[in-house]
Each structure stands twice: as C-alpha cells, then as structure tokens.
Structure 1
Amino acid sequence: MNNNDSAEKASGFTGWIPAVLILLAVAAIYGQSLWFGYVNYDDALILDKRWIAYRQLDWQGLWKIFLPHEMATYQPLRDLAFALVYRFSGTNPFGYHLFNVLLYLANLLAVFYLFRILLPYFTALDRKGATFWAGLAALWFAVHPVHVESVAWMVANKELLAGLFYFLSMICYVKSHREGFRTGFYLLSLIFLLLGLLSKPSVAALPLVLIAFELLGRKPDTRARDIILRSLPYLVLIAAAAGYYLFYTSAFVGRLLQGSLRIHLLTLSSVLAKYVLNLLLPVNLCNSYPPPFFSGSYNWHLAVFLGIDLLLAAALAFALRRKQKGLAFAILFFLLNLIPVSGIFPIAIFMADRYLYLSSFGFVLAGVLVLVRVFGTWSGPAAARRIFATAAAGALIFLTFLSAVRCRDWKDALTLWIAAVRTYPNYQYNYYGLANSYAQAGMQDQALETYLKTNMFKENFSADYYIARIYDVKGDSVEAEKYYRRVEALYEDEMLEQQWDVITAVYERLGLKDKLAGQLVENSRILKNYPERIMTIASKLASLGQVQKAVEALEGSIDAAPPSAGMRTALAAMLARLGDLAGALKAAQEARAKGENSVTLDLLEADLRFNSGDWRQAVGLYEAAGWEKLSARQKERLAASYFNSGRPGEALELFRALSREEGEKSAPAHNNIGVALEALDSLDEADKEYRKALELQENYADAWFNLGNVASKRGRNSEALEYYLRAEKIEGGTADLETARASLLAKMKRYPEALQLYGKLLEINPASKAALLGAGDAAWELGKKKIAREYYRKYLDRYGARAAPDGLLQRISGD
C-alpha cells in the first residue's frame, strides 16, 4: 500500500473534514481568548494616547501610520491593523482578540495550500494524497502550543500579518516555479514579501528559503544563473530593508557579541536547542524566558543543548547525503527563518515563542515528510498501522489540550505573570512583571511583597522606584524617602538612560530642583518627536523658573509637531512669560498660519494684543473666543479694550456685568464702571461709583485719582487737588497722576509749581507729549518765552508739526 492508497482510505478526509477539524481545534483553543483582557505586556501600544493618534483612518492618519518615525522597527501594517480594529472596537480587547483569531485562520488556509503545493515536489503523492497530508500538517500547525503567544497576545498581530504575507509570497513563488515562472505570480510574490516586511522584518529570511527551494526542488534543466537572477530582486529588497533597520531604527540593540565569540556561539547554540525542545516537547512555555546566555560553566545542560544541535546538523547532513531533499529543505526552512531572531544580530528579547511562528512550518513539514515515508514503506500488519495512526491522532489531541491550557495563561496580567513566575521562579524580571500586575490591580500589599522579592536577585532600579511609591501611598514617608534615595544612587551609578522618566519623578519627589531641571532638558532632547511630552516638560521647566529652557525645548521639537499638538501656541505663551511680546505675537501668528486654530490661541493672542495696546484686535479675538471662555481677568480686559478703542457704552455694559458676577462688592468693578460713565460725561454717576469703590477699599489709589479727574472736570480744582494728593500718598507719584496734578496746577494758574512738576516728569520721560506741551505752556504764561520755545521745539522734533496744537507754531515764530 502506498501513500496515495492511505489517503484514499481516509474516509473523505481530503474534502471538508480537515477544515472542520481545524475550525474546531482553533475554537477549542482560542475561543476563550475572545473574553481575555490586557496582560501588562506592551498594552501601551493599544491604550497609550500617543499611539491612539496613529489610529485614524483618514488621510492624515494614514500619513502618520506610513511615515517612518522613531521606534524599534518600522511596522506600518501592524499600526494599520490596530487602526482598523480601533475603528470598530476602540480599546475593548474583544475586537483585537477576534482580529487575531480570524487572522490565524487566514494563516492556516495559506499554510494548508503551501503544504499541498510543496509536498508533490518532495514526494510521489498525487493531488488527493497531497491534500490529505496537507490537511494533517495544517491541523498539526494549528494546534501547536508555540503559536499561542502569537494568537492570544493582542499586540502580536504583527506575527500573524507577517506570517500570512510570508506564506502567500512563497505560494506565489512556488506556483510561478511550477508554471515556468509566470510573471504575474512572480510579481505577486515580491509584493507579498514587501507587505510582510511592512508587518515585521522577521520575514527577511524568505529569499534564502527560496534559494534553498530552488536548489533542492529544482527541475533538471534549471541553471544556477537562472536561480541567481530570480533571487536577485528578493535579495535587493531585503538588503534595502536591512539597511533601513540597521541605520534608522533601534531594532538591533546592544553589542554584536554577547561576551566573547566563544560565549556568543555557545549562547546561540543554547537558544537553538531550546527552540527544538519547545517544538518537540512544548511544555514550560513562557512569555518571558530567562536570558539564555552561556555563563561559562560547562554542565549537563550545555551538553544536552550541544547534543541536540549536533543531532540537528547530523539530520541535515544525512538528508543531503541520502538525497532526502524534502527533509533537507524542511530543516533549512526551520534554521533559515530563525536567523533574523536568533541573536546573530543583537536584539532586545533573545528568546520568545513567537519567534518560532515561521520556523515551525519547517518543523511540521519535516514531521509530515517522515510520516509520509513511514506510511509509504509500511510492511507491518494493518493493526499496527492503525495503532500508529491512533497514536498520531492522540498526539494532536494532546497538543490541542496543551495549547488550550497555555492559552488560558493569557487571560489577564495576573494570570500571565503568575504562570511566568511558576515556570521560571529564578528569573528576576518575571517577579517584576508580576509586581506591576499586582500594582495595576490595586493590590498594593502583594505588589510591595513581590517588588521586594524582585530585589532579592539584584537591586533593581525600577523595583526600588515602585517600592518608594507604594510606601508614599501608605503614608510611610521615611521608607519612601529611603527608596527614592536608592533610586537616585542607582541612576547616578549606572546611568540608566532608558529610565529618564523614573528619575525625573524621583527628582521631583525629593525636591531636587536643579537636577530636575537638568533632567527635563535632557528629556526634551530624547522626546523631541513627541509634542505632548515636550509640552509637559516645558510646563514643568517654566514652573521651576526655567522659562528660557522651556522655550528652547519647544523650539527644538516644533518642526516635528502636527498642528493639533498646539506646540506653537505653547511657544507663544512661553515667550509672553519671558516678556518678549514681539516674539510671542510672531509665534502666535505662525501658529495660526500652520493651522493651530483654537480658543486657547485666540485668548493668548488677545492677551498679547491687549498688552501691546492693539485694542481693536484684542476686542475681535476676545469676542471670537466667546464670553463663556473668558476668565474674569480677560472679561475685564475686553471691557477695557472696548473703552480704549472708543466704545465706552459697550465697556460700561461689560463692567456692570462683571460687577454683578462679583456680587457688586468689588472696588475695582465700581471704579471701572465709573471710568466708563466718566467717558460718557455722566459725571454725577461716575462720582457715585468712585465713592462706592472707596467705601469698599479706602486706600484705593485709582479711585481717588479718578475722583480727582471728575472734580477737575466740574471745576472743583481744590477738591481735585486734594484727591490727587490722597492718591499720591497711597501709591506714590505715578506718571499719569503727576501729569494730571501738573495740569490742574496750571489750570489753577499756579504756573511755577506746574512748571516744576512738568520738569520732574521730563527727567523721567523726556518724550512725554503732555509734559513737553504743559511745560511750554507754563513757561509761556510765566513770561519765560525762550524756555517755552525750547520745550515746543523738542515737541516738534519728536512729533512733527502735524501733531502740534493750534497756536504753538506762532509762539515759536515769535508772532
């Protein structure tokens, strides 16, 4: 009996049964995941508002998704997938889990088809036989526990996306190969490879796999030159992607070697052996493996690892020697797809189940090829054959059970990290992850206990920080201070650059203002492409009195900020705090030109216009913002702007409205109402308002001054002079007050006193219009015409003849 006979006797297995079994298996394993939550493991990729900004499906959102930005790797299709799910599910985990399960089913369909078209290259199977064994292989792939992390972990969708495009690319290449390299399938293969690279760079090994396929599955008439030419576009695409990742991302981290070359190679050997063990015996799987660095001690673990690696090498050599090309290709498929994630290039996480997603296809292919060969050459009794088949079915059921149990570990953060500690109790990071999960669940006592256990291995910077925070919450400031000081010491000893946010909080908590300011400046350099964080940093710098540093932080990242961030508006506000009104106005105008249109900008520019004396512009901007958006101070400024722009009636209405809001018990409110009434020549009412202000606040200099103005207009000069002197006694001799008093003295024909007072004013401000004219007029009335003409000439030199009052030019000419 041959393989095709066994397939035909599979009771219709070549039809719909494989699909039903796969669907049932996936439902049994991953159906539970639809109700799982977050696991405190890269949750920020979904929850953090900085990433939510990349979830919009408009043109601006797509531009953000596909525009390269600073991150570990460039994975725009992952972000696009997140955006699609976010559109329908928001941050509800259900949508992300459902997406992963559906995407896994799409992968399994592609896996089934790839098995079906590959098997005839390396076996004598016909179409029906290939379909039977491809169904079995796809089922084996579907239930293997090493895939649980890629499906049950929400943010691992990139593995599934990359896997789908990888398998589709290879399908198209194989079909093109089978049909004499039809251009359509070949181009589709390249496009799918590109899509895979845009999902995750781990698909980079595909060209090497295709070359292995060409060499081991090629037709007799295939020339080496043809293989090179067909592979070249793939290699160029991968080389371009590798160059980008090496030079423009932080995908590869750390040193090239983990220790010496010998230790690095032994480390890689240990990782490879552990991956083989995880595929053969998928127990003790974990989301967080201890770093498998070879420590230098030659023990039985190392002997086992090296033994496994030697067996794998021997199997490859045997397959090549005996011309078992299918088995050789399967082993090469497994090994080559581990290259991007094996640690040959230093990566942040040295070992993870998800790294086996692509390589496991080669493992399953090797297993199926062995089964095909065993069943094809079986000469024993039929009962033994049935027993073997039953054992294989039992193995698949057992794998399904292991996967379902492993999937349950991903239910939530506590479940996942409790499992990690149980599996690897001697790994510090797992305790740290569990402690974080306790803290997020509000279980402070358990979190504190677990953070303290984390420090039993080696004192940990972050653990100390969170211990200090828990003690703060508990009100134990002594213990909190102790651990904050430990955090400070560890940071300065080890200079952990990636912990800048923690040390910033520590400096702030300990009140170390100089160190905090310096760290904030450094943070602004690190975070220059994160506008919201920069604005927070600038705000903190300003609160520390470092406004100039805040301005520099904003200016350093302003070009990278979108209009929605409001960066230029914030810069204008900081420049205003520095007193640079011109610079602030310019920044506000640039903000408006860049599309930063907001109420905040309207109010800021209105304040700037008010402070610069541009009353009409201030009125327009305050009105545009809306009365309900104005602070009490800005409402007063709007009324003052009405007044100063020649609209005293509207100013009066606003001043009265403000008075009602303040309960009519505000001296400034009554004073402002009086000023507006005075401008409208309602002197009696103005007088009453000023007196109400003085009843509420007797030492209110402005009210005494304004009361003096009203008395002066009524011709009550002595009374006015008395009020001016009361104001001067309270506030001192301000320019406006002294000018009014000098004018009143001249009006009372007390010209010597007026001239003396005008002279003092001109010593303070030589350009004062009122003082120059008043001094000239007082001198003229005293008969000091020469002195008067000197004042008049100074006035004309500064302000020109067009600004001269009637009679001044005649006095200068001597007529």
Structure 2
Amino acid sequence: MSERSREFLLSAAALVVLAIAAHAPALRCGYIWDDDAYLTKNELVQSPDGLGRIWFDRHATPQYYPLVYTTFWLEHRLWGLHPAGFHLMNILLHAGSVVLLYALLRRWSPAAAVVGVAFWGTALFAVHPIHVESVAWVTERKNVLSGLFYLSAFLVYWDWREGRTGERSSSAAHYTLALGLFVLALLSKSITATLPAAILVAVWWKDGKVTARDVIPLLPHFVLGIAGGLHTAWLERVHVFAQTGDLQWTLARRLATAGAVPWFYLGKILFPWPLSFFYPRWTLDGSRAADWIPLAGTIALLGLLVIPARRGVRWPLALTFFFGGTLFPVLGLLPVYPMRFSVVADHFVYLASLGPLTAAGVALAALGSRSPLLGRACGTAVCLLLIGLTWFQIEDYRSITTLWRRTLAKNPDCYLCVNDLAQERTSLAEQEAEYRKVTRMAPRFELGWSNLAQSLEKQERMDEALEAYREAIRVEPHYSLVYARVAQILEDRGDLSGALENARMAMRHRPGPGEYSNLGRLLAMTGDLDEAGRQIDRGLKLDPDHVDSLINRATILAMRGDLRGAETDLRRAWAVAPGDARVRAGLERLGVGPAGPR
C-alpha cells in the first residue's frame, strides 16, 4: 500500500469516527413530526407486499422518493419499528457521505494531508450541528441517502471526466455508472437535481472555462434533473398542500426572500446558535427598501468575487455559486410545504453547506501551512466545539413532545407546536382552547380548524363542528379528509344528499380506495347499486385487499341477490383482516360463518 493510500485510509477513518461520535446521541431519540406518515403508520412499509406500490403507485406515499421508502421497508424486516435502528442507518449514511466528500475534495486538492483543505472541510461537514435535523430526524433519510448518491455520482463523474481519454468500453461504463447514481439520488430527493450545474461550477473552478465538451455529456443529467424537480414541484402543489393561500406569494416577495435566505444560512453555518426546528417566519414582501438589502448584498458580493476570479483565484466565487445554486430549489421562488411554518429549515442546507464549510477548510489549511501545530489546534478546537453543539441540538429530537416544547421556547409564534401540544391536554375544553388559539395565530392553517372541529365533535357540539370543518375547507379546498368527515356527520343526520356531495368532493381531491368505497356505500344507500358497485370497483383496482371496499361490495352483491359473490368478498376480507367483527357478522348473516380459525 502506498503512503498516499495509507494516509487516505487513516484520515477517512478519523473522519468517520468524528461523524459517528458527533451524532451517536441520536440513537436514543424517538420519532417526531411526520415520521408516522413516512414510517410508523405507513402500511406500505410494514406490509410484506408493499414494496411494489412504493415504486409504482404515485399516490401511495406523501412524496415520490421510492428509494427512501425501500430502505424503510427493508429495515422494517430487520428491526421492526425500533427507532434506534433507523437512527443508526441515518448516522452511517452521513458517515458514508463524509468519506465520499473527503475523496472528492482530495481530487481537487491532491496535496491535502491531515491539515489540508480536504480534511478540515470534510471534518466540519461531519460534525456541524446544522446537520442534526438531517441525521437525527428519521424522515430526513431523504437527505442523508440522497447525499450519499449525490456525492457518489459527483465522484464517479469526475473520475470519468479526468480519464475519458482511456479505453472506450471502460469509459462508457464509468459514465453510465455516474448517470445511474444520479438517478438514485433523484429517487431519494429531487434537490439533488442541481448536481450537473455543480459539476460545471467545479469544471470552471479547476479549468477556468466551460466548453461544449464539458456541457454535452451532462445534458442527460440536466434533463433528468429538470424532470425530477418538476415532478416534485407538482407533488408539492397537488398532494402536499403547498398550493395553500399562505404560500401564494407575490413575485416581489419571492425575489426578496430568495435574496435573504442564503445570508440566513451562511450566518447559521458560521454561528450555529441557536438552531431551531422551526425558525420565526419572517416576511419580506418587497414593500420596503430594507427588504431588498440582502439581494443587493448578494449582487455586490458576486461583483467583488469576480475580481480575484479574473486573477486566477476562482475558488471563492465557485464555492459561492455552488452554495447559492444548490439552495436554489428552497430559496422561496417555488412553494415548499415546510415554508408554511418557517421560510428556512436546517435540513434544506445539508448539501449546500459544503460550499461555506469547504471555504472554512481553506482558512484552516492556510493557517496550518504557516504553523502546522496552530492549524491542528484551531481545527481540533473548532470540531470539538461543533460536536458539543451537535450533542446539545440532538436533545431536541428525543421525542416529539420535547421537540415541540423546545422549539416553542425559541419560537413562541410556532402555531404548529401549539397545535400538536394541544393533543396532550387531558380536558376537551382545554384542547378546544388551544385549538382556538391556533386558529387565531394562523387563520389559514386548515389543520387547526380541523382539529378544533374534532374537539367540538367529541363534545357533541355538531353544529359548531360543521362550521369549523367548513372553515377548514374554505382555507384549503383540497382537504379530502375534512370532506369525508363532513360527509359522515351529514349521513348521521340523515342528510344523504349532503353526505354524497361531500363524499364526491373527498374522492375528487384524493381518489383513493377509501374514498371510492365510502362514495359507493352512500350511493347504495340511495338505491343506485350499479353506480355504487362501479365506484367501489375503481377503489379495489387501486388496492384489491382494501377491507372496507370488500365489505361494502359484499353488501351490494347481497342486496342484488348474489350471495356467492358476497361470500367471496367477505372471505377475502377475512383473509386480509382475520377477526374483523364486521366481516364475521356479514358471513354469519349469509349463514356460512367466518372463514379460517375463530
């Protein structure tokens, strides 16, 4: 083994130890916020046959990141829903990205040793507390998994670019591998769509120019990246409520916000205190001259960095372009669901942070070149300080209650925290009071109105509940679950016409098997058995084992006199949900008894 290889392995091992040591406390953390939708209450992850729907049913998951759900599905086979296993995998994926980043930076800084740019830039990435949100939050498997494939694709592509004058077949395989890794990154999180642009920035950094020979091989990457980004933007708008009124910003607000966001992140990277799951939701609407200062500052900074770039010192401008370009999807120019609660979020900057952190590595390396001992001492001190801050930040993620309480202490206007903490109230009256507080804090937050309505329902104040549900629909016309709830209340009141109208709206906005089944059941109650059967059949095409649909179709078949067909559906439902009291009762009414063991 050469001296250089030995040094690489020792340095990479040290960096892995740093990454694991910094995030090891996350092994004691539980699940938070939307971990239920992604994992703990996701039937596809827990079902032995859910893997196919993860990949081929775009409505089955909140976002189409099938590779993420595939890792969850596989891990569920290994350790069930024990959170430590999923946290461990996040930590290991982050550590893997650390090794890849180190290898990539060494390509650009071949003389880098332990005191070099590659080591210190990577060490800062490994331990920085701004990455706690990506590593300690199970749902952000999206970040650490996509980051691993992003850096793998970058590294393999760069090796292909440097050696493409070699053997043709080997070169083609190398290029194909890089493109395949990029596709895997997109299937993990579409923010990685910025990779081809980042590669061109690196080309300019190293060569001082970008030619057609550099751009043409990246055209497939650009096409795939744009397609992936547009698909995610469509899902955010249609399925993740990113089209709500509080995200319908003016162009001036989007531009002013886009100018301010990078400065915010740069500040948190340089001075990571305090960090918060949700930051106060500041508003720059462009109506004041001060709103445009950040954007003007960005333009001025770029102008200043052009001066050294013309003299051959290109890395400051290159890293700035990388930072801003990688942040582009989350600058506020496009609506993203979490921006309903905070314009900025730590997990948005996972990859983009490589720019400022590499620049910090340059500073530490420059110090080390003048005084190796002082350089090592400063670098070690900074890393130890960041590890301490990372440990402190991880404590926020111990449980969902801890997260909301600590976030609320930093951001008293976080209405989502108030909304979720209201569930801990033991008194319905106290819950109602908290939900009313949420609706005052955020009148356009549909979940606050929905939760208030549910609280009123539990108190049997149905008129008030209907009023609150209708306010939720007014705020968010695509809220299918509220339509379904209103349909149930109206059905209980004997208003089948109103129930049918709301059931149709629920099905229109979320055409899932449950919505088709409920609509079919209501149609059957009106006597329209043919249309009822057609609606339920549509739902069963989406999920042939949907128990409610099978029960409702069996009821319709029995009403038509097709007792054998009804029995077939009920036996199938029993096979899916053995012990279901409704299925047992249906079979006994047919005089055949439940199928399978009692």
When structure 1 is superposed on structure 2, of 507-516 and 325-334 the one drifting more is 507-516
Aligned counterpart, 2:393 = 406
1:635-714 equivalent positions in 2, closer than 5 A: none
SS of the aligned residue for 2:113 comes to: helix
Deviations 1:341-390 (A, max 9, x none): 323332222332111111111221222234434554x4xxx5xx755654
Q: Does the aligned pair in 2 maintain the 1:45–1:155 contact within 8 Å?
A: yes
Q: Does the aligned pair in 1 maintain the 2:18–2:127 contact within 8 Å?
A: no
Structure 1 counterpart of 2:551, one-letter code: A
Q: Distance in 1 between matches of 2:511 and 2:12?
A: 53
How big is the shift at 1:550? 4.7
Deviations 1:89-145 (A, max 9, x none): 22221221121112111121112212222224xxxxx2x537843222221101111
Aligned counterpart, 1:178 = 162
How big is the shift at 1:416? 0.6
Structure 1 counterpart of 2:546, one-letter code: A
Say which of 342, 365, 386 aligns to 2:331. Answer: 342
Structure 2 counterpart of 1:156, one-letter code: E
Q: Distance in 2 between matches of 1:566 and 1:507?
A: 20
SS of the aligned residue for 1:368 comes to: helix
Deviations 1:20-77 (A, max 9, x none): 36424532x32222121222334222122xx2234456xx433222114125532110
Aligned counterpart, 1:238 = 225
Q: 1:22 to 1:242 in 2, by over 3 A?
A: closer
Matched, 1:363 2:346: no
Matched, 1:216 2:202: no
Q: Distance in 2 between matches of 1:364 and 1:552?
A: 58
How big is the shift at 1:194? 0.7
How big is the shift at 1:454? 2.3
1:717-732 equivalent positions in 2, closer than 5 A: none
Deviations 1:740-768 (A, max 9, x none): xxxxxxxxxxxxxxxxxxxxxxxxxxxxx
Q: Distance in 2 between matches of 1:623 and 1:447?
A: 44
SS of the aligned residue for 1:254 comes to: coil
Structure 1 counterpart of 2:10, one-letter code: W
Q: Does the aligned pair in 1 maintain the 2:555–2:566 contact within 8 Å?
A: no
How big is the shift at 1:274? 1.5
Say which of 303, 306, 311 aligns to 1:317. Answer: 306
Q: Does the aligned pair in 2 maintain the 1:143–1:403 contact within 8 Å?
A: yes
SS of the aligned residue for 1:43 comes to: helix
Q: 1:314 to 1:552 in 2, by over 3 A?
A: same
Q: Does the aligned pair in 2 maintain the 1:451–1:466 contact within 8 Å?
A: yes
SS of the aligned residue for 1:238 comes to: helix
Q: Does the aligned pair in 2 maintain the 1:467–1:483 contact within 8 Å?
A: no
Q: Distance in 2 between matches of 1:508 and 1:565?
A: 19
Aligned counterpart, 1:724 = none
Aligned counterpart, 1:466 = 451
Q: Does the aligned pair in 2 maintain the 1:251–1:347 contact within 8 Å?
A: no
SS of the aligned residue for 1:85 comes to: helix
Q: Does the aligned pair in 2 maintain the 1:428–1:457 contact within 8 Å?
A: yes
Structure 1 counterpart of 2:435, one-letter code: Y
Deviations 1:161-210 (A, max 9, x none): 10000000001111122223533332221111011011111110011111
Say which of 43, 48, 52 aligns to 2:43. Answer: 52
SS of the aligned residue for 2:81 comes to: coil
Say which of 82, 86, 102 aligns to 2:72. Answer: 82
Structure 1 counterpart of 2:183, one-letter code: L
Matched, 1:153 2:142: no
SS of the aligned residue for 1:16 comes to: helix
Say which of 554, 570, 582 aligns to 1:573. Answer: 554
Structure 1 counterpart of 2:345, one-letter code: A
Structure 2 counterpart of 1:282, one-letter code: P
Structure 2 counterpart of 1:356, one-letter code: V
Q: Distance in 2 between matches of 1:37 and 1:544?
A: 47
Structure 2 counterpart of 1:519, one-letter code: N
Structure 2 counterpart of 1:484, one-letter code: A
TM-score when normalising by structure 1: 0.62
Say which of 423, 426, 431 aligns to 2:410. Answer: 423
RMSD: 4.0
Q: Distance in 1 between matches of 2:178 and 2:228?
A: 16
Q: 1:238 to 1:160 in 2, by over 3 A?
A: same
Structure 1 counterpart of 2:485, one-letter code: A
Q: Does the aligned pair in 2 maintain the 1:66–1:76 contact within 8 Å?
A: yes
Q: 1:173 to 1:131 in 2, by over 3 A?
A: farther
Matched, 1:205 2:168: no
Structure 1 counterpart of 2:157, one-letter code: Y
Matched, 1:69 2:58: yes
Q: 1:481 to 1:601 in 2, by over 3 A?
A: closer
Structure 1 counterpart of 2:176, one-letter code: L
**Unmatched runs of 5 consecutive residues or more in structure 1:** 1-6, 121-125, 611-621, 630-815
Q: 1:588 to 1:597 in 2, by over 3 A?
A: farther
Q: Distance in 2 between matches of 1:15 and 1:596?
A: 54
Aligned counterpart, 1:777 = none
Q: 1:415 to 1:244 in 2, by over 3 A?
A: closer
Say which of 465, 473, 479 aligns to 1:499. Answer: 479
1:369-448 equivalent positions in 2, closer than 5 A: 369-376=362-369, 378=370, 390-436=377-423, 438-439=424-425, 447-448=431-432
Aligned counterpart, 1:557 = 539
How big is the shift at 1:483? 4.5
SS of the aligned residue for 2:337 comes to: coil
When structure 1 is superposed on structure 2, of 229-238 and 310-319 the one drifting more is 310-319
Q: Distance in 2 between matches of 1:375 and 1:387?
A: 6
Q: 1:462 to 1:179 in 2, by over 3 A?
A: closer
Identity rate, percent:
23
Q: 1:461 to 1:226 in 2, by over 3 A?
A: closer
Q: Does the aligned pair in 1 maintain the 2:31–2:399 contact within 8 Å?
A: yes
Structure 1 counterpart of 2:217, one-letter code: R
Say which of 5, 9, 14 aligns to 1:20. Answer: 14
Q: 1:78 to 1:178 in 2, by over 3 A?
A: same
Aligned counterpart, 1:523 = 506
Say which of 58, 80, 94 aligns to 1:104. Answer: 94
Q: Distance in 2 between matches of 1:485 and 1:215?
A: 60
Q: Does the aligned pair in 2 maintain the 1:39–1:412 contact within 8 Å?
A: yes
Q: Does the aligned pair in 1 maintain the 2:150–2:195 contact within 8 Å?
A: yes
How big is the shift at 1:303? 6.5
Q: State the structure with more CA Rg.
A: 1
Q: Distance in 2 between matches of 1:297 and 1:141?
A: 37
Q: 1:218 to 1:443 in 2, by over 3 A?
A: farther
Matched, 1:354 2:347: yes
Structure 1 counterpart of 2:17, one-letter code: L
SS of the aligned residue for 1:501 comes to: helix
Q: Distance in 1 between matches of 2:574 and 2:487?
A: 37
Deviations 1:279-334 (A, max 9, x none): 2222232222344441345376x466346534642454244233222232222221
How big is the shift at 1:275? 1.8
Structure 1 counterpart of 2:31, one-letter code: Y
Structure 1 counterpart of 2:543, one-letter code: A
Q: 1:245 to 1:68 in 2, by over 3 A?
A: farther
Say which of 244, 250, 261 aligns to 1:260. Answer: 250
